Structures are given as C-alpha cells and as structure tokens.
Structure 1
Amino acid sequence: MIVLIRMGLATLVACAAAAGVNAQSVTANQLDRQIMNTESFLNAHPDLRFRLLGLTAYQAADYAKAMIHFKRAARYADKPSQGMIAEMHWNGQGVPVNKPLGYAWMDLAAERHFKTMLVNRERLWNALTEAEREQAVIVGQPVYAEFGDKVAKPRLERLLRNARSNSVGSRTGFVGAVTITIPGPSGDLTLDGSQYFQEKFWKPEAYWAWQAEDWKELPKGQVNVGPLKVPATE
C-alpha cells in the first residue's frame, strides 16, 4: 500500500503544539504545518485537499468516496493520490479488481521517478501476466491523456498563480506588506506575507521541486493521522 504519511498528510495534519501566539515562537516546520492546515491554503491547493479527503474516506472504508476524492486530486497532478487509485483498482476497493488498470495508474504515479512509486510500479509489473501487461499499455493511454503531468500540472499551476495574485492584490509579486492571521494551537498567529506566500507553496517550479525533495527517499515508518477537518466542497 502507498504510504501517504509525508508532505501531504503528516505535514498537513500534525499541527504541533507551540507556545505563544506569534510566528517567532514556532519552528519553521511547525509554522509550515499550521499554514498548510488552513482552509484558505487547502482551497488553493486542491491536490492536497482532495488527497486528504480521500484518505479520510479510505480510513472510514468508504472506498467509493475515497476513489472520487483521489481522482479529483489526481487531476491536479497529485502523485500519491494516483498511487492510491492504482492500489484500489489492483485490490478491488470500491471498484472491481482490474490489475492492468491498477498498473497503469501506478506507472503514472511513478512519472516523476519518486522512489516509493517506482518500487510499487515494479512490484505490480512483476505480478502481471503477459496478457495483462499488454492490456495495461492499452488502458494506460487514456489515463495519461487526462491525468499525466503534461495536462495535470498546468491545472494546478493556474490555480496557484491566481490564488496568490488575488490574495496579494497585485501582479508585482510583492507580499511583504501583507498581513495574514491563521489559527494556531494556542491562539491566532499573525504572519507577514512572506511567511504565508513562500515560493515553495505558490510558485509552480518551486512547488514541484519541494514535492520532489519530500518524496525522493522511501518512507521510514508510519504515522497515525487523526480526524481531518477539510472543507468538503469542490
């Protein structure tokens, strides 16, 4: 099973308890977690938002709903969600067992060569018959056409640029004068714009590089994630 407890899950949900109510009182990682767990951030990042909703449904064994959410995340180039779709097709969770289609989705999830996805892709490939491998090539073509990075990345990139531009109110990209308040474990935190609008969150090239860095190694261990509070509307 794909381990999703990385940048999009542990980081998003595990908001560490921090003393005080100002941004200087928390570490950079803790601050990132709190920023990423806000409704405004998740609304602007549907890849992460729908991945979280998918995991919530999956943990509740509502596999049909999980598949819907993971596919929504997959449309915004979310590789972990694509990997989960692969496993669900492979195992028949919420859908009939379809191993060629499961492999096709895992091949797509491995498109950026994240080690976790590559290992799982090889695992599935080795379990296919020759006939299933041939079928996987066929069924994979429409999957790539709709969900491959070539078409999926631009969907998210447009949203990131628009959300940042609309929030700042300027096309110049200057965010230093913007003040943002977000909920924290011990009260509201007041941030300047440069903290909330870090390039790794909002500039597409930096965002993809940040994901690649987070997923470059195989996961170590597992983290239990509690109830998620994520807006459910599209």
Structure 2
Amino acid sequence: MITAGFLSGHPDLRFRLLGIEKRDAGKMEQAFGFFQRAGFYADKPSQAMVAEMLWNGTGTPVDRALAYAWMDLAAERGYEGFLDLRERYWSALTPAERERALQEGPAIYARFGDAAARPRIDTALRRERRQATGSRTGMSGNLRIMVPGPAGPMVIDGSKFYDDRYWDPVQYQAWQDSVWAKPKVARVDVGEATQIKEETERRTRIDAGRPQVDAPEPKTADEQPRLDSGKP
C-alpha cells in the first residue's frame, strides 16, 4: 500500500516501473507505450528507453532518425550516459537520417521536452502531497518503497515517505539529477564510431535564434545538440 501510495503521486516512476515489468515479461509493445507515458511526465530514463527500442526495433519498427530525436530529448538535462549514447547514435546515422532527425525533433520537444513535461510532474507531486493523509512522523521504518533506478531498484525507507526531496518539485528534480547525472547506462551497438568535426557539428544542431521558454537549463548546454529549433 505504501509503495502504491508513493507511486500514485509519481506517475513518472509508476509508468517507468510498468514499462520495465512489461519489458521483462516480453510484452515489448506495451513496454514501449508505458515508457512513452513516463516520458510524458519528464522521465528522462524512460525517454532513453524509447530511443533504444526505436533504435533496435524492440516493440516498434526500427527508426534510427526518430531514435536519435528521443535520445537527444533524454540528454536534455546533460545526463552523462544519455549524452554519450546520443553522440554514438549521431555518428552512426546516414546524412539522410540526420536530416530527418532534425526535422522530427521539434514536435517531440513540444510534447515531451521539459518545458512541456515538467509542469505535469510538478502538478502531480503537489496534488498528491496535498491529499496525503496520516502522520508525517509515524511511518514505519520497516517498510520499504521500491522505485526503479539506473542500477536496479532503489530502496526508500518508509519513514522517509514525506521527505521534501520526493515531493517538492525543485528538490525532486535535484534528487533525480543526483541519481542520473552519471548513471550506469546500457549501451547499444551502433557500429564503428567516426570522427566528428566537434565544434561545427555541434553548432549545426544547437538551437539558434529560437525564442527561449521558461524552462530549466540543461547542465551542459554547450555540448548538447538541441532539436527543438527545427533547423540543422
């Protein structure tokens, strides 16, 4: 019950967990859908899973250009593992696939990027916190809340149920960043890496001149190719 109560206020974690369960059960199409739903609530690991499933054709047809667009989205906050995967993807794309990836990016960012998705998870956190009942000091320390993490399930002591890091949107984001900034991320085989003209290559994918939105800044913006400009 306590785990269900926690996850009801964290749809990002709930849908990620459901995606993992369906994937482990071999129900790949359902897993793909749940990872997308988690991504709708700004869950970067789930957005990366969508990318990998598109890249490998797991539960969905292979679409490497779209896979890059999703991995670029997963790397939006500068998480190291996703940045690395994004660059591996880009190195393996054909020129035509790169062009299409840049075309697909803006629509994906418009729906799943932090500017659109962060308000959804923030609202869910605040709503569930207001509705929570029971003692804030009487939660048993013997209970454990299991949530999916980069190296397997993470255990949250039941006595920490009401800790601000899990309910305050700003602190919750900081907690997520601390978990995923340098995660152990499985890597896909994308073939031989090729030398990229780093500065030129990056600048061709950086948002230039697009009106800025009020959203959290990525941690490594100068190393992050953005697709929300809609321009190469």
Same fold (TM over 0.5): yes
1:67 aligns with 2:26: no
Query: Of 110, 122, 125, which residue of structure 2 is paired with 1:157?
Result: 122
Contact in 1 for aligned 2:19/2:34 (Cα 8 Å): yes
Report percent identity of matched pairs: 46
Structure 1 runs, 4 residues or longer, greater than 2 Å off: 178-185
Query: Of 78, 82, 102, which residue of structure 2 is paired with 1:137?
Result: 102
Query: Of 106, 115, 138, which residue of structure 1 is paired with 2:80?
Result: 115
**Deviation string for 1:26-66 (max 9, x for gaps)?**
xxxxxxxx96xx11001111101110110111122211000
Give the superposition deviation at 1:199: 1.0
Question: For the structure 1 residues 101 and 206, does the alpha-carbon distance in structure 2 shift closer, same or farther, using more than 3 Å as the test?
Answer: same
Pairwise mapping of residues 6-85 of structure 1 onto structure 2 (< 5 A)? 38-85=3-50
Q: Secondary structure at the match of 2:26?
A: coil
What does residue 143 of structure 2 align with?
Answer: 184
AA in 1 matched with 2:98? R
- Whole-angstrom distance in 2 between the partners of 1:147 and 1:61: 26
Question: For the structure 1 residues 180 and 65, does the alpha-carbon distance in structure 2 shift closer, same or farther, using more than 3 Å as the test?
Answer: same
State the aligned residue count. Answer: 174
Give the superposition deviation at 1:179: 3.7
- Whole-angstrom distance in 1 between the partners of 2:24 and 2:133: 37
- Whole-angstrom distance in 2 between the partners of 1:208 and 1:81: 15
Pairwise mapping of residues 97-112 of structure 1 onto structure 2 (< 5 A)? 97-112=62-77
Q: Secondary structure at the match of 1:97?
A: coil
What does residue 146 of structure 1 align with?
Answer: 111
RMSD: 2.4
- Whole-angstrom distance in 2 between the partners of 1:134 and 1:79: 24
What does residue 61 of structure 2 align with?
Answer: 96
- Structure 2: gaps (5+ residues): 145-156, 187-232
Contact in 2 for aligned 1:179/1:191 (Cα 8 Å): no
- Whole-angstrom distance in 2 between the partners of 1:167 and 1:140: 38
Question: For the structure 1 residues 167 and 182, does the alpha-carbon distance in structure 2 shift closer, same or farther, using more than 3 Å as the test?
Answer: farther
- Whole-angstrom distance in 2 between the partners of 1:61 and 1:68: 13
- Whole-angstrom distance in 2 between the partners of 1:191 and 1:119: 35
Contact in 1 for aligned 2:8/2:128 (Cα 8 Å): no
